Amino acid sequence: MKKRLGESRMTSGGKWTLVAIFAVLLIGTFLGGMNNQNRISDEAKKEVKAADEKKEDVEEKEPEIKSADLKASTSETIENNLKLYDKNIDKVVVKDKTLIVTYKDSAFWSDNSLIEEYAYDSINLIEDLYPNPNFDLFAFERPTVMTDDDGNENIDTVFKSFYTRDTLDQINLDNFTDMVLVDRERYFQKADGYWLHPGIFLNVDKKLREGIRSPINFDNMDEARYNMRNGETNDAIDQPESIKKEKPIVAEPVQEEATATYDTQTLLPSMYNISQMYDQLSFKIDDLNAMVGTEGDKVTAPLSSLLFTLKEMIDPINKEITTLKQTNVPDELDATTQRLAANQVEMNRIYERLQTQFYSIDMQDYSDAEKLASDIKQNFNAMNKLAQPDISAYTTFIMQYADEQDS
């Protein structure tokens, strides 16, 4: 057989050269893999060490004071005890039987979240401090960074409020705390006095502003004992035009023309879906809540992964509400949609708290099982209230549309 023109032939020397190159590559890959394994092993050791150090830090930072210990605190010990009880407390001042608590400045998402956290944190502290007979007035201050007209930043007090024992004697704090969790304005409505920085107050949601009404003037509050001076009220400052209640709009007599402008093909499915989704969410919350309890010093609860089922039900409701907010709707539907949007914001905040609490259960990082289980149930109860909103305006609109179609 003749050899093809230009065809090369590999010699035995060439074969051995390829074998040698392959062997070198194989050895290099093997050694590289060993080095990589050693590197991964070292990184794993570092991660384990870091986790152990973090766990030690958490154990060291565990509060040394429980809510029950605050009942016996005196004017000399209350500041230290409160700082141990709540890491967000910066300063405590006692004047006679007046207790003034100042929070630390911390990051916040918005003016809404700032005022909402202030109200709920304060009512929770009041609930813990009220049984202590050494104090008859409970005041709270909250500072944060404010920027003036020249762009300069300063730490300023933006919220001040106080409750007297006489007022608290008339309140069922267990129920009232849950009410504040759902509607933050209730905290200010029942307070003996409060002041809100206008720069914050004017930027919160309209519903919250109108529920709180206008803030009092800083100078009208006697800081010596947090009592209102004679003749001063919470309406010392006129409400801005943007807050004053608008005159009712008189509907046009011909309803056919008004309804014809609405995109019912979008509105009706979204309103129906919201109704069904809330029902399903409420049932799911009840199921999870029923699984929370205690066994000895341990909290019994569903797997933390089951919380994701709540998130998977909350998010579609948010989507439908967004659809309604972006669609032209009658005023009564818009008011309902705005309330639902505010409810969803609160529901997401509660969900985040539940995540933290369930993480504590997973890590077995809690000191009081009864309190943790109780707090979880309170959060579930508050979330369930939000999952049962008044959507009668939606139902009425759907029924009216059905009647018009029949006619």
How far separated are the first and last CA of the chain, in Å rounded? Answer: 98
Does the domain spanning 264-405 belong to CATH 1.20.120? yes
pLDDT score recorded for residue 404:
67
| 194-230 pLDDT, tens digit each | 888 877 887 888 877 777 765 554 444 555 546 544 4
| 313-338 pLDDT, tens digit each | 999 999 999 888 888 888 888 888 88
pLDDT score recorded for residue 76:
93
- Whole-Å CA distances, 264 to 277, 328, 340, 396, 398: 19, 10, 19, 14, 9
Give the pLDDT mean for 271-278. 89
**What pTM value is reported for the model?**
0.45
pLDDT above 90 covers a percentage of the chain that reads: 30
User: Residue 176: CB partners within 8 Å, gap ≥ 6?
Assistant: 123, 186, 190
How is the chain split into domains, by residue range? Answer: 67-217, 264-405
Give the pLDDT mean for 341-357. 89
More confident residue, 239 or 42: 42
More confident residue, 124 or 49: 124
Q: Quick check: 321 and 288 in contact, CB under 8 A?
A: no
DSSP 8-state code for residue 327: S
DSSP alpha helix (H) spans, 130-239: 165-168, 173-182, 185-190, 198-201, 206-212
Q: Quick check: 99 and 77 in contact, CB under 8 A?
A: no
Give the pLDDT mean for 60-66. 61
pLDDT score recorded for residue 146:
85
| 289-318 pLDDT, tens digit each | 999 999 999 999 888 778 888 888 999 999
| 115-162 pLDDT, tens digit each | 989 999 999 999 999 999 999 999 999 999 888 767 788 888 888 889
C-beta pairs of 75-78 under 8 Å, 24+ apart in sequence: 75/134, 78/132, 78/134, 78/135
